[in-house]
Structure 1
Amino acid sequence: MLKGVLLGFAAFAAYAISDAFVKSLRGAVPAYEAVFIGALLGLAALPFIRSPGDRWRDAFTANRPALWWIRAVSGAISNIGSVTAFTLLPMAEVFSLIFLMPIFVTLLSVLFLKEHVGWRRWTAVVVGFIGVLVVLRPGFRDLGLGHAAAIACGLASAASVVALRLAGPHEKRLSLYGAGMTGPLLIGGALMLPHFVWPNAGEWLLLAGYGLLAALAGVLLMYATLLAPAARVAPTQYSQMLWAIGFGYWLFGDHLDWPMLIGIVLILGAGLFTLVREEKVTPWWRRTKVI
Structure 2
Amino acid sequence: MRSDARLGILLMTITTFVFAMQDGLSRYLAGEYNVLMVVMIRYWFFAAFVIAIARRQRGSVRAAARTTQPLLQIGRGLLLAAEICVMVVGFVHLGLVESHAIFAAYPLVIAALSGPVLGEAVGWRRWAAIGIGFVGVMVILQPGFGVFAPAAVFPLVAALCFALYGLLTRYAARRDTAATSFFWTGVSGAVLMTAIGLPNWQMLIGWDWAVMALLCVSGVTGHYLLIKTYEVAEASAVQPFAYLQLPFAAGLGILAFGETVAPNVALGAAIVVGAGIFTLIRTHRVRRG
Q: How does the TM-score come out when normalised to structure 1?
A: 0.90
Question: Which of 239, 245, 252 pairs up with 2:250?
Answer: 245
1:84 to 86, 89, 93: 89
Q: Residue deviations 1:175-211, cap 9 Å, x none? A: 2222222343233222223332222233222222222
1:51 to 52, 56, 72: 56
Segments of structure 1 that go 5 or more residues without pairing to the other structure are: 285-291
Q: Mark the CA change 1:263 to 1:38 in structure 2 (over 3 Å): closer, same or farther.
A: same
Structure 2 residue matching 1:171: 3-state secondary structure: coil
Distance 1:48 1:190, change over 3 A: closer
1:69 aligns with 2:77: no
Return the match for 2:162 from 157, 165, 185.
157
* C-alpha distance in structure 2 between counterparts of 1:126 and 1:206, whole Å: 40
**For the structure 1 residues 91 and 283, does the alpha-carbon distance in structure 2 shift closer, same or farther, using more than 3 Å as the test?**
farther
Deviations 1:184-239 (A, max 9, x none): 32332222233322222332222222222111111111111011011112112111
Aligned residue for 1:170, secondary structure, equals: coil
Residues 180-189 or 268-277, more deviating? 180-189
Summarize the Cα distance change of 1:54–1:147 in structure 2 as closer, same or farther, 3 Å threshold: farther
Closer, same or farther: CA 78–233 of 1 in aligned 2, 3 Å:
same
Paired position in structure 2 for 1:197: 202
* CA deviation after TM superposition for structure 1 residue 59, in Å: 4.9
- Give how far 1:49 is off: 5.6
**Deviation (angstroms), 1:171:** 2.5
> In the alignment, which residue of structure 2 is the partner of 1:100?
105
Q: Is the 8 A contact 2:45 2:216 kept in 1?
A: yes
Please state whether the residue corresponding to 1:156 is helix, strand or coil: helix
Q: Compute the displacement of 1:103 (Å).
A: 0.8
CA distance in 2, matches of 1:191, 1:54: 31
Distance 1:181 1:283, change over 3 A: farther
Superposition map of 1:20-39 within 5 A: 20-39=24-43
> Which runs of at least 4 in structure 1 moved beyond 6 Å after TM superposition?
none
Partner of 2:10: 6
State the identity %.
Answer: 26
Gaps of 5+ in 2: none
- 1:59-110 CA distances to partner (integer Å, 9 max, x unpaired)? 5443322331231111111111111111112212111121111111112212
CA-CA distance at 1:145 after TM superposition: 5.0
Which of these residues, 131, 138, 142, is aligned with residue 133 of structure 1?
138
Shift of 1:254: 0.7
- Alignment-mate amino acid for residue 38 of structure 1: R
Q: Secondary structure at 2:287's aligned position in 1?
A: coil
User: 1:85, 1:145 within 8 Å by CA — same for their partners in 2?
Assistant: no
Query: 2:283 matched to 1:261?
Result: no
Partner Cα distance (2:54, 2:240) in 1? 22
How far does residue 126 in structure 1 lie from its aligned partner after superposition? 0.8
SS at match of 2:56: coil
CA 1:283–1:70: 2 relative to 1, 3 Å: farther
Mapped partners of 1:261, 1:267: distance in 2: 10
Bigger mean CA offset, 274-283 vs 176-185: 176-185
